[in-house]
Amino acid sequence: MTRILAKRQLAPEVYLLEVEAPRIQKRWKPGMFIIIRPTDQSERIPLTIVDSSAERQSITMVIQAIGKTTKEAVALPVDGALADLVGPLGEAATMTTGKKVVCMAGGVGVAELLPVAKAFHDAGNHVTALCGARSDNYRILDEELKAGVDRLEWATDDGTFGFHGNVVQLLKSIAGPGDFEEGHVIGPIPMMKAAAEATRDWGLKLHASLNPIMIDGTGMCGGCRVTVGGEVKFACVDGPEFDAHLVDFDELTRRNRAYRDWEAKTMERHACRIGLDVR
Ligand code: FAD
Ligand code: FES
Ligand code: MG
């Protein structure tokens, strides 16, 4: 059992969870993830490691409660426990030094971006972070990002804060070919695909952190299969980060939709049992 030390709501349906994990805290690197089961009846879900504390022997994750298992996770109380947690999993994010770097994220991807953007900055790069949210009240970790990068810009879909539009439109409005040498993108698949398309001829080495469906996280089940540059890869062990310009995003979209009907039914049954309105 993994004790929950702290829980904080960051935005509608988005929660930060700090859990006791002394061994993971010592070994994780930005870009890596864990797999948790909130309860012993839950399925396994992957979550990015966002931060850690040696003093508190803990790691932090940020969870967007979108379905049954993420809702079970954020419903757990402080001093309660996750049924189990395994990690750190995956390869660390690619790092470089002395370069002009752009880090882009949308939605809960902003939390996943934070440790990577900070690591780029700490490694001696000039880091511009471009972050997207639905609306002003959905923006998360603004202070932490501001403190960790050289330049932070926000885009909101409804224009209530920063640039009116999405992150890729923001990117195109402030930069062009040659302005950045290295980049990292994480978030919804259409956004990562658009970022890759927009920068294909920019001479920018863009790394995308992919979010396929994962089950075991150890390369055994094949659930997280992705195609990169025509080759089959398993995101849990070969990634989750890959060359964005080589990823087959259409296949990733199809595979992530494979269980949509089942996920919707499961969520309805869950909401029904605990008396929630799912609309
Ligand atoms: P469901 O209703 O079951 O599913 C909703 C959608 O989530 C699905 O359509 C599918 O696209 C995706 N999904 C469902 N099951 C899985 C699964 N086992 N693995 C991956 N995706 C799934 N989310 C966060 O909020 N914070 C994070 O830090 C974070 N990090 C991630 C890191 C990695 C490497 C990956 C692959 C995913 C990450 N996710 C993160 C996404 C998170 O795992 C899914 O939102 C979660 O599994 C949804 O489960 P559910 O039962 O609540 O929703
Ligand atoms: Fe099973 Fe990657 S999650 S092979
Ligand atoms: Mg689920």
Domains (ranges, CATH) in the chain?
A: 2-89 (2.40.30.10), 100-256 (3.40.50.80)
Q: Which of 215, 217, 193 is nearest to 206 (CA)?
A: 193
Q: How many CB atoms within 10 Å of residue 20?
A: 18
Ligand showing the shortest atom-to-Cα distance for residue 45:
1
Report the pLDDT value the prediction gives residue 1, as an integer from 0 to 100: 79
* CB neighbour burial string for 122-161, b if at least 16 within 10 angstroms, e if fewer: eeebbbbbbbbbeeeebbbbeebbeebbeebbbbbeeeeb
Do the bridges between strand 58-64 and strand 51-53 make them parallel or antiparallel, or are there none, so unpaired?
antiparallel
Report the pLDDT value the prediction gives residue 191, as an integer from 0 to 100: 96
Q: How far is the CA of 4 from the centre of ligand 3 (A)?
A: 21
Q: Which of 224, 226, 182 is nearest to 207 (CA)?
A: 182
Report the pLDDT value the prediction gives residue 110, as an integer from 0 to 100: 96
Report the pLDDT value the prediction gives residue 259, as an integer from 0 to 100: 67
Cα–Cα distance measured from residue 68 to residue 55, given in angstroms and rounded to the nearest whole number: 33
Report the pLDDT value the prediction gives residue 278, as an integer from 0 to 100: 44
Cα–Cα distance measured from residue 117 to residue 125, given in angstroms and rounded to the nearest whole number: 10
Report the pLDDT value the prediction gives residue 153, as an integer from 0 to 100: 98
**217 C-beta closer than 6 A to ligand 2:** yes
Closest-lying ligand 2 atom to the alpha carbon of residue 223:
1
- As a whole number of Å, the CA-based R_g of the chain is 18
Q: How far is the CA of 183 from the centre of ligand 2 (A)?
A: 26
Cα–Cα distance measured from residue 279 to residue 269, given in angstroms and rounded to the nearest whole number: 13
Helices 260-274 and 68-75 meet at what angle, rounded to 10? 40
Q: How far is the CA of 43 from the centre of ligand 3 (A)?
A: 7
User: Helix, strand, coil % (nearest 5) of the chain?
Assistant: 30, 30, 35
Which residue among 186, 211, 270 is best mutated to probe the pocket of ligand 1, counting the most ligand atoms within 8 A of its Cβ?
A: 211
Question: What residues in the chain have per-residue pLDDT under 50?
Answer: 278-279
Closest-lying ligand 2 atom to the alpha carbon of residue 46:
3
**Bridge partner residues of 178 (DSSP):** none
